[in-house]
Chains A and B, each alone.
Chain A
Amino acid sequence: MEKWDVVIVGAGPGGSYAAKTAAEAGLRTVFFERGRKPGEKNSSGCGLGQRWWRDFPEVMEAVTRMPSYRKVEMVVINMVDEDLRLRFRCGTNGSDLCAGRFPNRKGMEGASVYRMDLDPYLAELAVKAGAELRTSTLVTDVIMENGQVKGVRTERGEPVYAEVVIAADGAMSTMARRSGMRNRWGGGCTNVLQLDYACDEEMMDDVIGDAEWCWFGGAVGYQVNFRSSFHISVGGGWLDRDLKGYRRHDDLKSLIDVPAFQAMCRAVKARPREFQAHLLPWLKRPVKSYTGGMMLVGDAAGFPCPLEAEGVWHACYSGKIAAETAAWAISRGDVSENALSEYEKRWKASFLGKEHEFGEEFVDIWEGAIMNREKALEQLQLMLEFTMLQPFSIVFDWADAHMDCFNHHLRHFLELAPQFSDFGRTYLAPLARGVWPSNVKRILLMLKPRIPVLRNLSDRNYFRVMARLFRQLAPFLDPTAEQDAPLPRGSLEKRGGERR
C-alpha cells in the first residue's frame, strides 16, 4: 500500500508551492499533474503583482530571467465608448510612496510571464526540495473513510494514501466535489476566453513598453504583455447572471473590433496563435477550505483576488500556508477536520484574508459597474465630462471662449452628477469602512480651522461633536477603534444609522 505524508493534486503554482513547502518541512510528498508536464494545462496568466517581491522574492528574481518576461511598471487603461472608439487613455501612477514600500524600490514593479515558463520552474523547485512529481496522471477520486479524506485514486484505479491531501486542482476541483465539500460554484464564477498573439519584440518595446494594458467601457478585457507577444483575457460575465440574451464570443469580438486595438496589433505586428478558455472563481467570499484530512488551495478554494482577479499569488500563498499547516497537524498526530480548521485561521489572519475582507464590495463594483456594459458606459460618460474639467482640457478646448467652454462642460457634468452620486452611494460608500480611522481624523482636522464654532475646541471635544453631528462618523471617532485598520464588517450599519 502506497502511503505518503502529503499527496498534492495538481502541479500548477499552488500545488507546486505546497509541494516545495511540504518537502522542505521534511514531509514525504508526492504531487500529481494531468498534463505531460506542469504548465501544459494551465488556466491563466500571468501578471504577477508587486506583492510577489515581498512574499516570493526568489521566485521573482527567477521570473525576470524567463524567456517571456516583461517588466510591468504601469497599467495603461484604454476607455472605449459604445461605438468602440477610444475616448481616453490613462495610466497608473507609480509614486515614490508605492515604490518605496518594498526593498530595492520594487513596490511598483510587477511582471508578466507565461505559465508555460513559470509552472515548470515552480515544480522544479518542489522536486529539488525532495517532492516526487508524477505527470500524465489524472486523479479522479478521493478515498474517504468515516467522513475523513484518507488519500486519492488515480485514473488507473491505484489508491494513494496520505496523512493529508492538498487539493490544488483548479476551479472545477474534482477533489472538493468527490469529497462532498461542494459541487458547482452556483454563482460567483466566470468563464474567461483568452487569445494569444505572437508579436515583434522590438515593436512591443516601442509601442507597449513596460506595461499591462486594460480595456474598459464598451469593450472589457485585460491585455497582458510579454517579451514578444501579448494575450487578451475577456471575462464572459458571471455564470449566475441571466445569460439568455448573451451571445457567446461577443465580449471577445467587441475587443478585437476596437479600432485602437487593431491599430496596436498592426504596430506590434500581432498574429493570433493560441486560444484557450477557463473558469475563474471570482467570489465575494471564499468557500470552506478544509475538511478532515484535506485542504483546498488556489482556485479550488476560490481564492483569486476579488478586485483584479489575479490568482497565481493567491495559489502560491495558500499552498504555502496549507503545507505548513499539514506539517503542524501531522506533527501533532491530528489531521481531523477540527485540527485542519487551523488552515482557515492562518489564511484569514494573513495577507490573503485581508484581501478578501472587502470581497463583497469589490465584486459588487465589477458586477454592477464594469462588467455591466450599460453601467460601464454611463461611468465612462461621467469620467469624460470630469476629465474635461481639468486644466489641460480647458486650455485645449478652443471651440469657444475658454471660460464658456469650461461652463458648458461644468453644466453638463452637474446634470449628470446625480448618476454619479448613485454610483457613489451604491458602490463606493460601502468601501468607506476601509478608510482607517487615523485618516478620517486627519481629514476632519484639516476642516477644523474653517468651522468657526468648532475651531476653538480641543481635538478630543471636536471629534465628539462631529460624531454626534454625523452619526456615520461615530465608528471612526470611537476612541477604542484601531487607528490604522479598516473597521469591522457591519460596524457602519450598526452605529451609523441610515445607509443607502
Chain B
Amino acid sequence: MSEGRIDFKSLVKRVDADKTGDFISYDPEKCDGCGLCAVICPFKLWSVKEGKARLAPRYQELCLECASCWEICEREAIDFSYPRGGTGVVIEYG
C-alpha cells in the first residue's frame, strides 16, 4: 500500500477531456522563471526551461483543476478559468 504502488493519475476520472477547451493561459513576459508552479502542481504539468515556465501541451488530459498554479504565481503570469461546462474532471465521491 506504499505510495510507490499507487498510480495517482489512474485514480482521476474525466469526461470529454478532448472538449475542455483551453483553460490555462500563461504570459511568458510576466514569468520570472521562479518555478513555484512546477513545485506546487500535483501532477508536474509545469516545468522551467531556459528561465521560463512551460505547461505540458496535453495538460487538459492531466490537470486536476485545482488552480494551485494560478494561486502560487506571484507575478500573475498564469490565468486559470475552468474547462467547458460538463467536461473535465469528474468526482464520483468527494
Point out residues on A near B: beta carbons under 8 Å: 33-36, 39-42, 44-46, 68, 114-116, 135-138, 140, 154-155, 171-172, 174, 183-186, 189, 191, 193, 195-196, 226, 229, 231, 236, 239, 243-244, 246, 248-249, 252-253, 256-257, 262, 265-266, 270, 272-279
Q: Taking A138-B85, A239-B40 as contacts, is the C-beta distance between A274 and B91 under 8 angstroms?
A: yes
The listed residue (B71, B74, B84) touching A191 by CB distance below 8 A is: B71
Given the known interface contacts A195-B11, A239-B68, the answer about A116 and B92 at a Cβ–Cβ threshold of 8 Å is yes
Q: Which chain B positions have C-beta within 8 A of A278?
A: 66
Per-residue contact bits, chain B 9-30, to A (CB 8 Å; 1 contact, 0 not)? 0011101000000000000000
> Known contacts A138-B82, A191-B71, A274-B93; is A256 also within 8 Å of B36 by CB?
no
Measured CB to CB, the nearest residue on chain B to A194 is B94
A–B complex contacts, Cβ < 8 Å, 25 sampled: A34-B82, A34-B86, A41-B88, A45-B94, A116-B94, A135-B85, A138-B81, A140-B81, A155-B84, A184-B73, A184-B76, A196-B93, A196-B94, A243-B39, A246-B40, A249-B42, A252-B3, A256-B3, A256-B6, A257-B2, A266-B1, A270-B1, A272-B6, A274-B93, A275-B64
Closest Cβ–Cβ distance, residue B79 to chain A (whole Å): 9
Pick from B3, B82, B85: contact of A257, CB below 8 A.
B3
A288 to chain B, nearest CB (A): 18
Beyond the given A40-B91, A138-B83, please list 20 additional residue pairs across the A-B interface where CB-CB is below 8 A.
A34-B85, A36-B86, A40-B90, A114-B94, A135-B86, A136-B85, A155-B84, A171-B71, A195-B8, A195-B11, A196-B11, A236-B68, A243-B40, A244-B39, A246-B40, A252-B3, A265-B1, A274-B12, A274-B13, A274-B91
A35 and B42 contact, CB distance less than 8 A? no
- Whether the pair B68, A42 counts as a contact (CB closer than 8 A) is no
Given the interface pairs A256-B1, A275-B11, A277-B64, the reply to whether A41 lies near B91 with Cβ below 8 Å is yes
Identify whether the interface residues of B are mostly helix, strand, loop, or mixed.
Answer: loop
Residues of B within 8 A of A137 (CB): 85
Residue of B nearest to A193 (CB): B42
Chain B min CB distance to A47 (Å): 12
- Given the interface pairs A184-B76, A265-B1, the reply to whether A42 lies near B94 with Cβ below 8 Å is yes
A381 CA / B87 CA spacing, docked (Å)? 48
Q: Are B12 and A246 in contact (CB under 8 A)?
A: no
Q: B71, A189: Cβ atoms under 8 Å?
A: yes
Is B41 at the interface (CB under 8 A from chain A)? yes
Residue interface bits B60-79, CB-to-A below 8 A is 1, else 0: 00001111101111101000
Looking across the interface, which residue of chain A has its beta carbon closest to that of B87? A136
**CB within 8 A of A276: which of B12, B39, B71?**
B12
